[in-house]
């Protein structure tokens, strides 16, 4: 977002933005994550069997009496045997990545003729340690060199007409290799932990703010953590990449008699670039009765109790373009004033004063009634499915991460009951610090650790692979992942209950195919009982420098919840241009039953959102088309001008969405007339509610709202063209 051509007075407001200098710490690099064959020459090979009694699985079992576990029970009188077919495999989970130096096989008469011994760190990607052809069975020992958590015997040709049958498999590991990645530890140099007695606490806030206030594309990242207690006379101004969180189990455990302030003095009272900051899990009693939170995209306000009112506009009521509130209680009135759009979920408010274009509410006690035909409001009584974001807290002197439970048809805040949640000790997290490598991160994941990214910028040379169900990947201080050399940033397996939260993926200079992939292509597992959630995960292409990606976020898993994201192809900053930071697609949803709550996607070269899964739902969508389209020909396809901001595939039979807006600001060629903002198949199961398109100051226009329906925009007065319901 850049300047908005609204007829609202531009005024100077108090400052807001920050960036303290960033220290770094180097984490030791663990062995490569994908079953590397790198030699651990110094390791002595143990005589102990590291596989004995460990969990085992197989491609098949001949019958219930020959399970996979029998090949790893230390008993040569029991065996695993497969069905009578090729190929077949049996594997064991050693529990952590280890150096593997020898594998012993004790075959029954039904042996493997051709087979490989393989290893993997994640159970998905395999490296061959030994290939055997024309094997004769019996007992054999194979010296190997590699590392991994999983060891697999993979047969491709049987030695008899029966299956594969192993009395026993023994795996020997090195005693002098690299130790496993440790969980827990300190939170690194850029996490500032304070209590009510911290000396010069106001000075700490002011120092960070002075550095971060206008440092929109800098490398500084900071997280303030407030221990439970009462803090008096504080005004914590938050700038770029600065987060503040309470360390209580409930928001009222951390009481601030003061303010957490976001304003726009740094940008002459214009709040449309107040991105990338956050506040959560504390209570406020503002000094003058009303707290100011004048933000734009990627600035979540979560799990906050405001004992007073909340002003979402900058001082002077200049332009503003936010924003997102969830799981919060505002005792007084919320005044959005100049805010163009806002989404509020599962909260309570004492009142809501106005709005400009699109104010959407779900599960909000005290929300105004829907009036979209004449005003900005779209209100749903409940949120169909939600799960609040995981958060760090203190239990005594120990850090833990609370993982809230899933809610259905939620209304109001989830606390203080916190029903259905679970608590994880920090020892179950690899605490990632600046200097950590992708190899170490993947090794930690393969060991079964979760990830806690501390504030920093992480350049990674390989994809982070999250393949274990219920893994938590939590970022502090807008920790930023940058994929180098054209790799993808992160892949999530088609497994239950992964929680991704609180980090930024920044495209690298070499083109990535997909920055974030949730579920492999073709995923089809049912995750309705325990969906994967993507919360406060932001994606940026360009702005901090040239960035390239074909696909930004692709969701292939069924039942996933996307709860607040800003997927942004940059329109300002460094490395910005139609081809310089090219990214064709923003969000692509292929999974079924996916829900998006608080979806912000902007400026992509082709479609901003393409939804191909069945029974998808979106609640609140904010979009701007790319500013820098060179001419109409550059975006003409299938006989129409412009790619829809939000496209539902023709194959889809059921889809529903509420509170959608697309805006155009074609600064490179204001003569462009975009055919429509939204494109959907005309079917009884496909329904859109409260949709609008807007020309910002007459820089380009829309011919229709959805398909060939809806009045065109015209002139320079930023008057929305609306449809209350389609079809």
Beta partners for 436? Answer: none
- 696 and 3 in contact (C-beta within 8 Å)? no
Q: How many CB atoms lie within 10 A of CB 522?
A: 8
Looking at residue 511, the DSSP 8-state letter turns out to be P
* Distances, alpha carbon 696 to alpha carbons 704, 715, 719, 722, in Å: 15, 9, 9, 15
624 is catalytic: yes
Of 395, 465, 382, nearest to 121 (Cα)? 465
Tell me the C-alpha distance between 146 and 148, whole Å. 7
Structure tokens at 125: 């990607």
Beta partners for 392? Answer: 401
Contacts for 12 with CB less than 8 Å, ≥ 6 apart: 265, 268, 269, 315, 316, 318
Q: How many CB atoms lie within 10 A of CB 44?
A: 12
Tell me the C-alpha distance between 612 and 555, whole Å. 10
Structure tokens at 415: 């606390």
Tell me the C-alpha distance between 601 and 611, whole Å. 13
Tell me the C-alpha distance between 240 and 221, whole Å. 8
Tell how many helices (H) and how many strands (E) occur in the chain.
2, 49
Peptide bond into 86 cis (omega under 30): no
- 621 and 661 in contact (C-beta within 8 Å)? yes
Tell me the C-alpha distance between 368 and 373, whole Å. 14
Look-up: residue for tokens 């005003």?
375
- 269 and 246 in contact (C-beta within 8 Å)? no
Look-up: residue for tokens 């292929």?
590
Structure tokens at 601: 């996607």
Which of 280, 307, 624, 656 is flagged as catalytic? Answer: 624
Of 188, 656, 181, nearest to 440 (Cα)? 181
Structure tokens at 707: 């398909």
Vertex 696, ends 693 and 697: CA angle to 5°? 135
Q: Active-site residue numbers?
A: 624
């Amino acid at each position: 977002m850049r300047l908005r051509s609204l007829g609202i007075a531009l005024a100077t407001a108090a400052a807001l933005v920050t960036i303290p200098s960033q220290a770094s710490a180097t984490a030791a690099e663990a062995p490569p994550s994908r079953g590397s064959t790198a030699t651990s020459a110094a390791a002595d090979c143990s005589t102990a069997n590291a596989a004995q009694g460990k969990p085992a699985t197989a491609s098949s079992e001949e019958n219930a009496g020959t399970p996979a576990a029998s090949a790893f029970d230390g008993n040569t009188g029991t065996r695993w045997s497969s069905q009578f077919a090729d190929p077949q495999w049996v594997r064991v989970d050693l529990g952590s990545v280890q150096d593997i130096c020898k594998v012993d096989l004790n075959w029954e008469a039904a042996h493997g003729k051709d087979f490989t011994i393989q290893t993997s760190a994640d159970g998905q990607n395999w490296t061959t340690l030994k290939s055997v052809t024309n094997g004769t069975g019996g007992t054999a020992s194979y010296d190997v060199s590699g590392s991994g958590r999983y060891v697999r015997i993979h047969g491709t040709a049987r030695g008899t007409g029966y299956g594969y049958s192993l009395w026993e498999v023994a795996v020997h590991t090195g005693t002098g290799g690299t130790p496993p990645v440790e969980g827990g530890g300190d939170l690194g140099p850029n996490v500032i932990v304070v209590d009510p007695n911290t000396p010069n606490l106001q000075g700490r806030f002011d120092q960070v703010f002075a550095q971060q206030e206008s440092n929109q594309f800098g490398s500084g990242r900071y997280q303030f953590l407030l221990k439970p207690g009462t803090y008096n006379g504080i005004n914590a101004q938050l700038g770029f990449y600065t987060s503040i969180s309470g360390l209580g189990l409930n928001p009222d455990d951390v009481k601030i008699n003061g303010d957490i302030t976001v304003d726009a003095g740094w940008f002459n009272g214009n709040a449309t670039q107040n991105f990338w900051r956050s506040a959560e899990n504390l209570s406020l009693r503002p000094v003058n009765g009303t707290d100011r939170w004048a933000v734009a995209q990627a600035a979540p306000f979560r799990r906050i109790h405001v004992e007073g009112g909340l002003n979402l506009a900058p001082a002077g009521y200049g332009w503003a373009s936010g924003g997102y509130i969830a799981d919060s209680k505002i005792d007084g009135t919320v005044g959005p004033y100049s805010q163009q759009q806002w989404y509020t979920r599962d909260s309570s408010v004492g009142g809501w004063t106005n709005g400009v274009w699109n104010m959407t509410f779900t599960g909000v006690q005290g929300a105004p009634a829907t009036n979209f035909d004449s005003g900005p409001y779209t209100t749903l009584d409940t949120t169909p499915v939600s799960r609040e974001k995981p958060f760090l807290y203190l239990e005594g002197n120990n850090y833990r991460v609370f993982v809230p439970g899933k809610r259905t048809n939620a209304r109001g805040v989830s606390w203080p009951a916190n029903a259905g949640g679970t608590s994880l000790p920090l020892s179950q997290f690899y605490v990632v610090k600046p200097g950590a490598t992708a190899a170490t991160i993947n090794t930690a994941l393969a060991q079964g650790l979760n990830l806690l990214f501390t504030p920093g910028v992480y350049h990674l040379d390989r994809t982070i692979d999250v393949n274990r169900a219920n893994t938590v990947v939590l970022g502090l201080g807008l920790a930023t992942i940058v994929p180098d050399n054209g790799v993808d940033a992160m892949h999530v397996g088609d497994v239950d209950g992964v929680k991704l939260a609180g980090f930024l993926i920044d495209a690298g200079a070499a083109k990535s195919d997909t920055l974030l992939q949730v579920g492999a292509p073709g995923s089809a597992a049912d995750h309705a009982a325990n969906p994967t959630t993507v919360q406060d995960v932001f994606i940026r292409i360009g702005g901090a420098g040239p960035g390239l990606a074909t696909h930004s976020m692709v969701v292939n898993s069924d039942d996933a919840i996307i709860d607040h994201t800003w997927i942004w192809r940059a329109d300002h900053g460094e490395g910005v241009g139609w081809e310089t930071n090219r990214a064709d697609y923003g969000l692509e949803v292929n999974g079924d039953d996916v829900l998006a709550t608080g979806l912000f996607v902007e400026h992509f070269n082709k479609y901003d959102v393409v939804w191909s899964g069945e029974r998808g739902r979106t609640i609140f969508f904010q979009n701007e088309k790319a500013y820098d389209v060179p001419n109409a020909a550059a975006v003409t396809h299938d006989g129409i001008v412009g790619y829809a901001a939000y496209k539902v595939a023709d194959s889809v039979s059921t889809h529903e969405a509420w509170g959608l807006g697309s805006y155009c600001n074609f600064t490179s060629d204001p003569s462009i007339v975009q055919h429509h903002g939204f494109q959907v198949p005309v079917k009884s199961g496909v329904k859109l509610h409260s949709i609008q398109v807007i020309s910002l100051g007459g820089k380009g226009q829309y011919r229709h709202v959805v398909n060939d329906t809806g009045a065109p925009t015209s002139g320079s007065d930023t008057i929305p063209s609306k449809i209350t319901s389609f079809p």
